[in-house]
Structure 1
Amino acid sequence: MKAVSITEHGGPEVLQWVDVEDPTPAAGEVVIDVVASALNRADVMQRWGLYPLRPGWSPYPGLEVSGRIGAVGEGVTGWQVGDEVCALLTGGGYAQKVAVPAGQLLTIPKGVGLTEAAGLPEVTATVWSNIVMTARLKPGETILVHGGAGGVGTTAIQIAKALGARVVTTVGGPEKAARARELGADVAIDYRTEDFTAHGPYDVILDVVGGDYLERNVQSLAADGRLVVIGLQKGLDGRLDLAELVFKRASVHGTTLRTRSTQDKAEIVAEVQKHVWPMIEDGRVKPVVERTLSMADAAEGHRLMEAGGHLGKILLVNDEKNG
């Protein structure tokens, strides 16, 4: 098969479409004939060498795919060859085939195309696990979603709104602010000209930025507020006022989906299938796709993501399965 290989750490040009060995399913796994994958910020970090791989992880980027099951490993029940699925991965999605634990498979939501479904597993699992399973967002609470124009942000706005929360988000520019409001945000803040602290307090904050946002995030929390940090786009260091944290009875959580155990991921995927898929099927949550490119053009997708002008997901299609 072919896969996108990171030939060395560096810019998008290090991504090369090369011949590699086909995967085989271990016990409890299936192999998916990939129709499409999708970009995530972690893929860019991996390309730069800022996301060290753990033993057993695929060397190829890609944290989600859609496609058809091509092979089933020993002990797998409930799935068979030919089933159309999408899946949450630890890596390896930028390829024509990928092996994945059966517990990380999802059906294709009704009304969503097979290619489009490639952009759902990572963002829905990230959002649900963080704002519901970790931060316990409740109806009537106010949530601040940083980075509301990205894949996670556009999904978080919609899921939080569907849960009955008041949604505030930060975006870069008036056009993205308008789109965020269309997706359900009650308030869209242009972080280039406004300070998000002025619109608080917030019961929950979902932060993909990190760095010096930490201090202002904690300042903006309501009593018993919960801050969940899932991204480090502005760096690894931030100032934390412990007195403010203590007196507010607030909490700060740092989480990542990729390093969770196979069992944890299976539990999250089951929650997404049960709770988020109905939101998609009845139209409360819609996939947001910016561009669809050939998988062989993954470098162009990375350039678009790093430029920061996109809204929602960038998909990569396996032309062999789409042409």
Structure 2
Amino acid sequence: MRKVVIHRAGGHERLQIEEAPTPTPGPGELRIDVAAIGVNYADCVIRMGLYASAREYVGWPITPGFEVAGVVAALGAGVEGFVIGQEVIAVTRFGGYAAQICVPASQVFAVPQGLSLAEAAGLPTIFLTADHALHSLARARAGEWVLVHAAAGGVGSALVQLARQAGCHVVGVVGGAHKVAAARELGAEVVIDRSCEDLWGRARAAAPGGYAAIFDANGVSTLRASYRHLAPAGRLVIYGFHSMLPRRGGRPNYLKLAIDYLRTPWFSAMGLVNQNRSVLGFNLSYMFHRGDLLREAMGRILGGFAAGEMRMPAVSTYAMDEVARAHAELESARTVGKLVLLT
């Protein structure tokens, strides 16, 4: 079977497709014939050699990929509740860029009715990230004003929907005119196009009292201002640092990284207490030991899809042989919605 392998850090040319033996499921695992693979910005960071958990858990060479969809091909000993040929979604900690993969059954879920395998493959990472950010960390409540950066992207699209489902007022920030309609259709009451509008002026006008929660994966370019625009008892949730990384070329500029690292705000304990605000951060790849949280969150998310309360953002598909192009386009910040590889 074919899989994508990265032997060492670098640009898009490091994404090599290689042949590998068909894996055999161990006890408690099942093998999936993969039809579609979700592409996430974290995969690009892994390729650049900047993703800490990839170094800690795997090292080089590595096959990236946090999510797949396909059909059950084989069951390991002790696996119940699945049948050969069943369409499923799987959450993986790396290894997903492959035509076949073995996954613990506890990380596998039935595809909700009405979703294609391409849509299903793009569902877990963005919705699990959004669910944890909104419900576990920010604990958003009905009537609160929240601001979502990159509201037309993968995680941003999920955050907008989950926040509206929770009864929040949502302000979405996008980076281009072609993204405004997508954020609005997902439920953002106010959409700010930061490429041509005064981001923080419009944000203040929408919520003069500040925001109960702001969700920010930009890093140094917006973190300080995001924190300043929190309401009393507001929560800033950080889950990425995209503005520190390249939009073209595929290789990090280490001088820029160093400068941005020094410019990144550090929030003192005394300041947080005196200003009555919270800063929270997380990385889902460090949370696989909490299978209970994974299953609980996926239950909520899949239930929302089954009830018609959630929908996937726009999905753009690429052949596996186009993996480098998919990475390049995701890094460009021009894409809308979710990118998916088809095997």
After TM superposition, the score normalised by the length of structure 2 is: 0.86
Q: CA RMSD in A?
A: 1.9
- Distance (whole Å) between structure 1 residues aligned to residue 288 and residue 340 of structure 2: 26
Per the TM alignment, residue 167 of structure 1 is displaced from its structure 2 partner at its CA by 0.6
Partner of 2:74: helix, strand, or coil?
Answer: strand
Q: Does 1:150 align with 2:135?
A: no
Residue number in structure 1 paired with 2:304: 279
Q: Is the 8 A contact 2:118 2:317 kept in 1?
A: no
> Closer, same or farther in 2 for the Cα pair 1:241/1:8, shift >3 Å?
closer
Partner of 2:40: 40
Q: Give, as a single letter, the amino acid of the residue that structure 1 aligns with 2:156.
A: G
Range 299-308 or range 236-245, more displaced: 236-245
Deviation at 1:212, TM superposition (A): 4.2
The equivalent of 1:61 in structure 2 is 64
In structure 1, list runs of 5 or more residues that go unmatched.
Answer: 319-323
Cα separation, 2, equivalents of 1:167 and 1:215: 20
Matched with 2:251 is: none
Partner of 2:317: 292
Q: Give distance in 1, aligned partners of 2:144 and 2:17.
A: 46
Pairwise mapping of residues 252-271 of structure 1 onto structure 2 (< 5 A)?
252-262=279-289, 264=290, 266-271=291-296
- What residue is the counterpart of 1:88 in the other structure? 91
Aligned to 1:75: 78
- CA shift at 1:23, angstroms? 2.3
| CA distance 1:90–1:241, shift in 2 (3 Å) | closer
TM-score, length-normalised on structure 1? 0.91
For 1:194, the equivalent position in structure 2 comes to: 198
1:107-256 equivalences in 2 (<5 Å): 107-192=110-195, 193-196=197-200, 197-198=203-204, 199-200=206-207, 201-235=210-244, 236-237=261-262, 238-240=264-266, 242=268, 244-256=271-283
Shift of residue 76, structure 1, vs aligned partner = 2.6
Secondary structure class of the residue paired with 2:78: coil
Q: CA deviation at 1:105?
A: 1.3
Letter in 2 for 1:255: F
Confirm or deny: 8 A CA contact 2:216 2:238 kept in the other structure. yes
SS of the aligned residue for 1:189 comes to strand
User: Could you say if the C-alpha distance between residues 254 and 165 of structure 1 is closer, same or farther in structure 2, counting changes exceeding 3 Å?
Assistant: same
CA distance in 2, matches of 1:30, 1:251: 41
What is the CA distance between 1:56 and its match in structure 2? 4.9
Runs (4 or more) in structure 1 with deviation over 6 Å come to none
Distance (whole Å) between structure 2 residues aligned to residue 73 and residue 204 of structure 1 = 43
Greater Cα offset, 187-196 or 159-168:
187-196
- Conserved in 1, the CA contact under 8 Å of 2:119 and 2:315? no
Corresponding residue for residue 27 of structure 1: 27
Shift of 1:241: 5.4
Distance of 2:267 and 2:27 partners within structure 1: 48
Contact 1:35–1:317 at 8 Å: present in 2 too? yes
The equivalent of 1:321 in structure 2 is none
Displacement after TM superposition at 1:189 (Å)? 1.2
Query: Match for 1:232: what amino acid?
Result: F
1:10/1:48 contact within 8 Å kept: yes
Q: Name the CA distance, whole Å, in 2 between partners of 1:213 and 1:246.
A: 21
CA distance in 2, matches of 1:154, 1:292: 17
Q: Is the 8 A contact 1:4 1:15 kept in 2?
A: yes
Question: Percent of pairs identical after alignment?
Answer: 36
SS in 2 for 1:22: coil
Secondary structure of 2:21's match? coil
Instruction: Give the superposition deviation at 1:274.
Output: 2.5
Q: What do residues 170-224 of structure 1 show as CA deviations (whole Å, max 9, x unaligned)?
A: 1112221222111100111122332235244111111111224222121111111
C-alpha distance in structure 2 between counterparts of 1:194 and 1:27, whole Å? 56
